Amino acid sequence: MEISQDDAGVARLRTAVRDHWETLSASERSVARYLVSAPVEQLLFASAQELGSASGTSNATVVRALQRLGYAGLPALKRELATHFTAAVAPEVRLKQRIAHVGRDLEGIWNDVIDEARERIEQTQRLTEPEALRAAVAVLADAGEVHCYGVAASEPAARHLSLTLARIGRRARFVGATGFALADHLLALRQGDAVVIFQPGRELPELTVLIERAQAVGAGVVLVTEELGERFGPRVDAVLTAPHTPTGITSEALTALVVADVLLLALTTLDETRAVDTSHQLTVLREQLLPPKGGRRS
């Protein structure tokens, strides 16, 4: 199925190529020509290496060309193109196209998944400003309790952060309620607490209520997102960028989990004594729960 090329993502790409053409090298122009001529679905599922081969260049040239065109990287281009793609094409059709792209070649499947994961993680690293990370860590370091909020595809990251924070001796809880059920959790927010919200793009009504409640009681807020930073940035303490998948080849939660691990390690280093002591207690408790050696627990 061919997708209409008449959409904002493609128009933005064509405009960027036209505006920056004179600044591109010969090899970068080869990349640009291929990008504006290839079908959208082909670009969405291609890695930088595949685009390099198709344009007669290299994956490094593809990355440089995209940066000259004003994109942070290949995932950024894919996200812009995917907006129209996901709206215009039914999920089952997108799934068929994804299957057709990867085929049954196990080595190819392995490479496709690893390539997209690598691209998304590198994009995460580039898009989060050091100052934003420092602000997020400062909010969490002083928190009495950290409330980790995430629903649907964002739930794994929120659960992971709440669990691992507890394992280094910090009070934390997972919150995944929506609608009226969220009100009970909002009552638990206290002055000096912190909220970490994992939400890539959809502006849920719960986000506004959660942020307003945190502001009302004096709790800090860290937002881990891709598309909502501009909308909620002025109302939270820090925004960390976690690009979502434009193709569905890799897990939606991948980059959010990476961000959660960064926050966890940073907090661990701030209070090594507490983290080590809690880890030791956890080990002792686990050993007590193991069956006795040489027999079974009655």
pLDDT tens digits along 90-116: 555 555 666 666 667 788 788 888 888
Last residue of a domain, one of 87, 103, 119: 103
Q: Are residues 161 and 282 in the same domain?
A: yes
Tokens linked to 196: 């970490």
Close Cβ partners of 44 (under 8 Å, ≥ 6 residues apart): 78, 81, 82, 85, 246, 247
pLDDT tens digits along 180-221: 999 999 999 999 999 999 998 888 999 999 999 999 999 999
The 3-state DSSP class for residue 196 equals: strand
pLDDT tens digits along 51-83: 999 999 998 999 999 999 999 888 888 878 877
CATH number at 68 reads 1.10.10.10
Q: Are residues 176 and 81 in the same domain?
A: no
Q: Are residues 152 and 265 in the same domain?
A: yes
Q: Are residues 211 and 272 in the same domain?
A: yes
Q: Are residues 196 and 273 in the same domain?
A: yes
The pLDDT value recorded for residue 297 is 55
pLDDT tens digits along 8-38: 888 899 999 999 999 999 999 999 999 999 9
Host domain of residue 84: 8-103
Q: Are residues 51 and 182 in the same domain?
A: no
**Kind plus residue range of the DSSP H or E element containing 198:** strand 194-198
- Average pLDDT over the chain reads 88
| CA–CA gap between residue 293 and residue 248 (Å, rounded) | 46
Q: Are residues 151 and 94 in the same domain?
A: no
pLDDT at residue 295 above 80?
Answer: no
Q: Are residues 191 and 269 in the same domain?
A: yes
CATH number at 274 reads 3.40.50.10490
Q: Are residues 138 and 282 in the same domain?
A: yes
Domain count, the chain: 2
Place of tokens 């506004």: 208
Q: pTM here? A: 0.76
Label residue 152 left, alpha or beta by phi (over 0 means left) and psi (-120 to 50 means alpha): left
H helices of the chain, in order, are 8-20, 26-37, 40-44, 48-54, 59-68, 74-88, 91-102, 106-127, 130-141, 155-166, 181-186, 205-217, 229-232, 254-270, 272-289
pLDDT tens digits along 152-166: 999 999 999 999 999
